[in-house]
A and B are shown apart, each in its own frame.
Chain A
Amino acid sequence: MSEQLLDVRGLKVKADGKKILHGVDLTIGAGEVHVLMGPNGAGKSTLGNAIMGHPQYKVTDGQIFFKGQDVTGESVDKRAKMGMFYSFQNPIEVPGVTLFSFIRSAKEQVSGKRILYLQFRKELQEKMKILDMDPSYAERELNVGFSGGEKKKAEILQLLMLNPQFAILDETDSGLDVDAVRTVSEGVREFMKSGDKSLLIITHATRILEALHADKTHVLVNGKIIAEGDASMIDDINENGFEKYEQAAAQKD
């Protein structure tokens, strides 16, 4: 087994006073692609938010290790600087801040050094081309008035520009048309090109997975991982639903 990049141990999480995750274990090695599936309300986004460190998702028990370090109490920007990335299901609109100046500021913060304007612009334009984004988007306010597809592209653009070690893609493919999924998948493949990056993909569908080889699948139901397996599980779930796994889990209890 490859070296562990992310190691979640016995994670319990509360949000809005409600217990949502009841002890989740999840290990992702360097270079691995993991898929997290589960019915609506199972706690998938909660897990993503908790790994990234959203203050409204309170970890009541358990630990999160990243690159061997316990980051459970670490601030969100520190996690990002360590190489974590979370692609939001519903990216926030930030009026007044252009996509260009935002990504540049973030990149400077993450890399800890000043980035030359021209060099940055060139790189940004290259990545935008991969994602089939018009260069004028750089001067638009971050996510303001973006369509669903444009928001997801802007997320993947940030992924490519910040180039983290590990990314959580939360429903990045949902609500997109076929062309947009293809473009977004192209972006993700570009990100994975170097071979040492890891992904946790939260999804309902398989379209985004067609371009990627999934190493492992986890099924999350009612705040617990009830089944794990290889990539073949994805097809099985898509054909037969979660019922089988839920029943099996119920019998185990």
Chain B
Amino acid sequence: MNQTVDKKLDLTVNRLPLITWNHLHMNQCNLSLRVPETGAEVKEQTWTPDAPEGQTSDPAVLVHEGHMDLLRDFSEVETGMGADVVRLLTAGGYTSDVYRLREGEGTVKLKYALTGNGVTANFLGLDVKQGAALTVIMDFASEPAAGEKAENSETEKNAADTSTDVDIIKENTPAAAAGAGVVLTKAHLGKNAILRLVQIHRAGNDFTLLSDTGAFCEDGARVELIQVVLSGKNTLIGAAVNLNGKGSTFSSNLGYRVEKDHRLDINYTANHFGRRTQCDINAVGVLRDTARKIFRGTIDFRNGSGASKGNEKEDVLLMDDGVVNQTIPVILCAEEDVEGNHGATIGELDDDTLFYLESRGMSEEAVYALMERARLSSVIRKIPEEDTKKELLTCIGDE
């Protein structure tokens, strides 16, 4: 289409705020990505309360606006992946949507179709004004048919096509895949505003998804993030929440299942600036086959964030011997009057739990399947929107 199509950019994303030994290959994710031409097709876009586009005079209405300037709008919002995502988007083409909720409650549902061999990019801006409560469901899915097809032709493609859009650089970088999608979500929350953000990641066996999110909180604002990862050759997730305002809070629930040769690369950061801010980061997951996962989670207590609390927990069940699990829970602290905790449990089920469940007649395999479902469903059940919750529970075979 145009001359930017073949241009590739080397990106460093999901970098730890404070790095450690390089030989561990845990500090960051490096990848090379073709500059996007356009956005992914947003298959379904529904929102309530409904209003005619552009009717900004009614303050009680959710307004959907068109193209935004990424460099100007929402520039105060940092994201988990870092500046390279904006660099990528501004180097090529992307679609953008902005939702502005002035008061009351609103819901936006977005379904992104991740298909094809190209690179697509979408930007979503969420502006939640003082006291308003916005629920946003973002579903990133490859067409099931496309996913199946990709699986069949996968070996062929990897062998034959070396000019894929994502290149392997070294360990902890995405594997070769055909297509890639980048979705950048930035949110600004006014005083006492609430954002419930649900993101469902289910890209295909041959697809790379970069899902990058950032939120900026004023006094008393609250971000509730729910992320579910069910599939995807490479899924990269970044999430950063700046708790700037007094008493603002961030809670996050991440549930993942990574199988086959898929990779999941996560970088969470909670930046505590304001007093009495709080974050709770919970991750539960299961790794199967030769899946690889890295979870970076940072709680950063900046000077001035007195009386704040931060908690972070990851619980990973390893199902097969070929898996690689990396976890690095970081706490940075420049403030005396804070409480920070992190914990991680990694490995197989303990003998006593296994015996207890097996004594009720379940085989080891069935017990592990139950635990996998339980982990995912514990996160899915927190989704505030019934249809999405039901669909996902069915999808994982719970109910």
| A positions within 8 Å CB-CB of B | 52-56, 75-77, 79-81, 85-86, 88, 91-92, 94, 96-98, 101-103, 105-106, 109-110, 117, 158, 162
Contacts and interface: CB of A to CB of B under 8 A. Distances in A.
Given A56-B351, A109-B366, A94 B357 contact: yes
B355 A105 contact: no
Interface in B366-384: 366, 370-371, 373-375, 377-378
Interface in B343-399: 351-353, 355-364, 366, 370-371, 373-375, 377-378, 398-399
B284 interface: yes
B371 A76 contact: no
A101 B360 contact: no
Question: Which of B353, B355, B373 counts the most A-chain CB atoms under 10 A from its CB?
Answer: B355
B366 A80 contact: no
Contacts of A102: 357, 360, 370
A85 B378 CA distance: 28
A101 B374 contact: yes
Contacts of A105: 362, 366, 370
24 contacts: A52-B359, A54-B355, A55-B355, A76-B355, A76-B358, A77-B358, A77-B359, A80-B361, A81-B361, A85-B360, A92-B356, A94-B353, A94-B356, A94-B374, A96-B374, A98-B374, A101-B374, A101-B377, A101-B398, A102-B360, A105-B362, A106-B362, A109-B360, A110-B360
A80 B359 contact: yes
Contacts of B284: 96
Contacts of A110: 360-361
Category for how many chain B residues contact A: 20 to 34
Contact of B358 (A56, A75, A103): A75
What are the 8 tightest A-B residue pairs by CB atom distance, in nearest-first order? A80-B361, A110-B361, A106-B360, A96-B374, A76-B358, A97-B374, A77-B358, A92-B356
A185 B62 CA distance: 59
Contacts of B351: 55-56
B359 A162 contact: no
A91 B351 CA distance: 13
Contacts of A92: 352-353, 356
Contacts of B364: 75, 77
Contacts of A97: 370-371, 374
Contacts of B378: 96
A42 B355 CA distance: 22
B355 to A, nearest CB: 5
Given A80-B359, A92-B356, A109-B363, 7 more contacts: A55-B355, A75-B364, A80-B360, A94-B374, A97-B371, A105-B370, A109-B360
A52 B356 CA distance: 10
A158 B355 CA distance: 15
B161 to A, nearest CB: 41
Contact of B361 (A96, A109, A117): A109
A23 B356 CA distance: 25
Interface in B290-320: none
Nearest to B364: A77
A101 B359 contact: no
B338 to A, nearest CB: 27
Contact of A91 (B356, B358, B363): B356
Given A80-B358, A80-B360, A92-B356, A101 B373 contact: yes
Nearest to B370: A105
Contacts of A94: 353, 356-357, 374
Contacts of A85: 359-360
A117 B399 contact: yes
A193 B362 CA distance: 26
A35 B114 CA distance: 64
Nearest to B367: A77
B371 A86 contact: no
Nearest to B356: A92
Nearest to B399: A117
A162 B360 contact: yes
B193 to A, nearest CB: 31
A77 B362 contact: yes
A117 B355 CA distance: 26
Contacts of B398: 101
B360 A96 contact: no
A109 B359 contact: no
Interface string B232-255: 000000000000000000000000
